[in-house]
Structure 1
Amino acid sequence: MKIYLVGGAVRNKLLDLPLKDKDWVVVGSSSQKMIDLGYHQVGRNFPVFLHPDTGEEYALARTERKLGQGYTGFICHTSPDVTLEQDLARRDLTINAIAQDQNGTYYDPYGGLIDLKNRKLRHVSSSFHEDPLRLLRVARFAASFAHLKFQIVDETLEIMQNMSKNGEICSLPPERIWKELEAALRTDHPDVFLQVLQLCGALTVLFPELDSINNVYSTTYSQPATQIHLHTPMALSIIAKLSKDIDMRFAALIYDLILSSLGQIKWISHDKLDLSVIFMINSLCKRLAAPNTLRDLTMVIIRFHHIVDMIQCCSPSELVSFFNNIDAWRKPFRIDQIALASEAFFSRKNNFINFSYSQSDYLYQAWRIVKNVSIKEILHSGYKGKEVHHELIHRRILSLSRWKGIQV
Structure 2
Amino acid sequence: MDVYLVGGAVRDELLNRRVTERDWVVVGATPEEMLAKGFEQVGKDFPVFLHPKTKEEYALARTERKSGSGYTGFVCYAAPDVTLEQDLIRRDLTVNAIAKDNDGNLIDPYHGVRDLNSRILRHVSEAFSEDPLRVFRVARFAARYAHLGFKVAEETLSLMRNMADSGELAHLTAERVWKETIRALGENNPEVYFQVLERAEALNDWFPELIASLKNSDSRLERAVSAKASDDIRWALLFANTSAEGTETLCKRVKAPNKYAQLAMLVSRFSKAFTPSNTADDWLKLCNQCDAWRKPERFTDFITACTLINDNADISSSLATPLHETVKEASKLSAKAFVEQGLRGPQIGEAMNLARRDIFEKRFRLDLFS
TM-score (norm 2): 0.91
Q: Contact between 1:204 and 1:210, CA under 8 Å: does it hold in 2?
A: no
One-letter code aligned to 1:35: L
Match of 2:320 in 1: 360
Deviation at residue 335 of structure 1 after TM alignment? 3.9
Match of 1:243 in 2: 228
Deviation at residue 359 of structure 1 after TM alignment? 2.4
- Distance change (3 Å), C-alpha of 1:318 and 1:353: closer
Match 2:275 to one of 301, 309, 314: 309
Deviation at residue 228 of structure 1 after TM alignment? 6.2
Q: Contact between 1:188 and 1:241, CA under 8 Å: does it hold in 2?
A: no
Deviations 1:131-182 (A, max 9, x none): 1111111000000111111111111111111111111111111111111111
Match of 2:8 in 1: 8
One-letter code aligned to 1:55: K
Q: How does 1:224-235 map to 2 (within 5 A)?
A: 230-231=215-216, 233-235=218-220
- Distance change (3 Å), C-alpha of 1:353 and 1:116: farther
Q: Contact between 1:96 and 1:112, CA under 8 Å: does it hold in 2?
A: yes
Separation (CA, whole Å) in 2 of partners of 1:173 and 1:381: 56
Q: Contact between 2:92 and 2:134, CA under 8 Å: does it hold in 1?
A: yes
Q: How does 1:297-336 map to 2 (within 5 A)?
A: 297-310=263-276, 312-314=277-279, 316-336=280-300
One-letter code aligned to 1:149: G
- Distance change (3 Å), C-alpha of 1:354 and 1:9: farther
1:283 paired with 2:243, answer no
**SS at structure 2 position matched to 1:3:** strand
1:118 paired with 2:118, answer yes
Deviations 1:237-267 (A, max 9, x none): 22232134121111012336x3xxxxxxxxx
Match of 1:274 in 2: none
Match of 2:200 in 1: 200
Separation (CA, whole Å) in 1 of partners of 2:217 and 2:329: 37
Match 1:294 to one of 253, 257, 260: 260
Separation (CA, whole Å) in 1 of partners of 2:70 and 2:345: 60
One-letter code aligned to 2:149: K
Q: Contact between 1:235 and 1:255, CA under 8 Å: does it hold in 2?
A: no
One-letter code aligned to 1:345: I
- My pick for the range that moved more, 335-344 or 365-374, is 365-374
Separation (CA, whole Å) in 2 of partners of 1:380 and 1:391: 12
Q: Contact between 1:25 and 1:59, CA under 8 Å: does it hold in 2?
A: yes
Separation (CA, whole Å) in 1 of partners of 2:39 and 2:328: 60
**SS at structure 2 position matched to 1:158:** helix
Q: Contact between 1:40 and 1:52, CA under 8 Å: does it hold in 2?
A: yes
One-letter code aligned to 2:353: I
Match of 2:62 in 1: 62
Q: Give me the identity figure in percent.
A: 43
Separation (CA, whole Å) in 2 of partners of 1:356 and 1:91: 46
1:252 paired with 2:216, answer no
Separation (CA, whole Å) in 1 of partners of 2:130 and 2:28: 27
Match of 1:78 in 2: 78
Deviations 1:23-50 (A, max 9, x none): 1000011111111222111112111111
Separation (CA, whole Å) in 2 of partners of 1:354 and 1:117: 41
- Distance change (3 Å), C-alpha of 1:364 and 1:163: same
Separation (CA, whole Å) in 1 of partners of 2:54 and 2:365: 68
Q: Which runs of 5+ in 1 are unaligned?
A: 212-226, 259-276
**SS at structure 2 position matched to 1:145:** helix
- Distance change (3 Å), C-alpha of 1:49 and 1:120: same
**SS at structure 2 position matched to 1:254:** coil
**SS at structure 2 position matched to 1:24:** strand
Match of 2:186 in 1: 186
Separation (CA, whole Å) in 1 of partners of 2:46 and 2:257: 31
Q: Contact between 1:5 and 1:101, CA under 8 Å: does it hold in 2?
A: yes
Match of 2:175 in 1: 175
Q: Contact between 1:378 and 1:388, CA under 8 Å: does it hold in 2?
A: yes
One-letter code aligned to 2:294: R
Separation (CA, whole Å) in 2 of partners of 1:379 and 1:172: 55
Separation (CA, whole Å) in 2 of partners of 1:395 and 1:353: 31
Deviations 1:42-96 (A, max 9, x none): 1121111111122111111111122323222222111211111111011010110
Separation (CA, whole Å) in 1 of partners of 2:136 and 2:114: 23
- My pick for the range that moved more, 333-342 or 51-60, is 333-342
**SS at structure 1 position matched to 2:63:** strand
**SS at structure 1 position matched to 2:187:** coil
- Distance change (3 Å), C-alpha of 1:139 and 1:56: same
One-letter code aligned to 1:250: W
One-letter code aligned to 1:172: L
1:404 paired with 2:364, answer yes
Q: Contact between 2:25 and 2:58, CA under 8 Å: does it hold in 1?
A: yes
Cα RMSD after superposing both structures: 2.3
Separation (CA, whole Å) in 1 of partners of 2:176 and 2:38: 32
Match 1:386 to one of 346, 353, 362: 346
**SS at structure 1 position matched to 2:38:** coil
- My pick for the range that moved more, 243-252 or 352-361, is 352-361
